[in-house]
Amino acid sequence: MAGKIGADAPSNTIYRAYLFTGEVDFRRTTAVQKLLSEMIGTNGEEFDLEKFDGNTASAEDILPAVSTIPFFAERKVVVVDRVDRMNADSQERLAAFIPKLGEKSCLILLAGTEDPAKKRASSGDGEGKKGLRPALTSAVKAGGTVVNFAKLRSRDLAALVSEKVRESGLKMEPVALQTFSRLIEAHPSLLDREIEKLAAYTAGQSSVTLNDVENVTIKSAEDRVFPLIDAVAGGQPETAVKLLDDTFAASPKPENEVLKVVSLMARHFRLLYQAKYILMQPGVRNLESAPQEMRSSLMKEQNPLSLSSWQKDKITAQALQFTMEDLEKCLRRVLDCELAAKGISKEGGSPRLNLEILILRLSQRKSIPL
């Protein structure tokens, strides 16, 4: 029986082929684990489950594996992660074999984070090109089911995080839960692990506090840039340098963090510049009220209007602390530092020292000419 189901549809039918696409997060992990549990349980994992990585495996590896007879479970299950990394020939061979899958076989294909409808094998149709092939998607639709996990909106993710925390038995202070939801937004696939870490860290406590969340939950480089820019915008050089030092201290290879931080700062100041431009327009109260004709002139990939709600609020608050002239000067300095870190400009010196000097200049912009 073939069909197409949504990410939240009940799995009361077992198909011979599955293709999981979209976001790689806890929803997909849970769905795959539930599916495996239904088909092979725990006794069949050693003999009736095989896993492959599409970045290294080929159709020659996968097809014989999925064709074998199961030992203990009802089906022989083969999982192929990153199937979109397989070359065109291997994907075409998988597509051709799917209609031939036996009743005791199940092929589970896991693609990357992009919707296959949008990622049309972007590299082209050459044999060596990579990207999810339309033929493979069509074959799974015809002989099995495609399950796509759309990107979660901030409020939907917050609701799911709250539900997961409640199911775990943890009690979290409201402000702690809000902060935890925001931090996990950058790493949704790590939700279960982060909840386990909090449970272990707060064992014996009546509830999880904001300090607990800030001490334990993983922080992305993007999360660290916001307080850094806050310190810069607020003219707090000592705080800004300390935050930068904390970022270096948290990394096993501090020198590798320089380009990452300065690139994020460049991105952030581009967002600030555009946000400031929007907020300066007559009748504009916030980013959401930006005129339609202005939206088309904004950057496509680094667009303040595409941010989540909490990020928009933060960007707006920060943009109001700068003049347009300030932002132009800051952006020019950040871009100079980025080029130096990449080795493109002739400016010498240690990349880390250059970044520290940049932070000092930006946070003391009223007293030190940019």
Please give the pLDDT value at position 222: 62
Instruction: Kindly indicate the confidence band of residue 119, based on its pLDDT and cuts at 50, 70 and 90.
Output: very low
Domain 154-216 grouped into CATH 1.10.8.60: yes
Please give the pLDDT value at position 250: 67
Quote the mean pLDDT of the chain.
Answer: 83
Q: Which of 1-15, 201-215, 308-322 has the highest mean pLDDT?
A: 201-215
Spatial distance between the Cα atoms of 207 and 150, rounded to a whole number of angstroms: 32
Q: What is the DSSP letter of 72?
A: S
* pLDDT tens sequence across 284-328: 888 988 887 788 788 877 888 888 777 788 889 888 888 999 899
Per-residue CA distances from 79 to 95, 110, 250 (Å):
15, 8, 35
Sheet strands side by side (includes 145-149): 49-53, 76-81, 105-110, 17-22, 145-149
Q: Domains of the chain: which residue ranges?
A: 17-149, 154-216, 221-363
Instruction: Kindly indicate the confidence band of residue 232, based on its pLDDT and cuts at 50, 70 and 90.
Output: confident
Contact 337, 358 (CB under 8 A): yes
* pLDDT tens sequence across 243-269: 888 777 767 677 777 888 888 888 888
Please give the pLDDT value at position 165: 92
Percent of the chain clearing pLDDT 70 (strictly above): 84
Q: Which one has a higher pLDDT value, 222 or 9?
A: 222
What CATH class does 221-363 carry?
A: mainly alpha
Per-residue CA distances from 365 to 213, 234, 328, 330, 370 (Å):
33, 10, 12, 8, 6
* pLDDT tens sequence across 326-350: 899 898 988 888 888 887 866 666 8
pLDDT at 118 over 60: no
Overall fold of domain 17-149: Rossmann fold (3.40.50)
pLDDT at 14 over 70: yes
Spatial distance between the Cα atoms of 123 and 169, rounded to a whole number of angstroms: 47
Contact 75, 18 (CB under 8 A): no
For residue 206, what are its two tokens? 């009546």
Please give the pLDDT value at position 122: 43
Please give the pLDDT value at position 154: 72
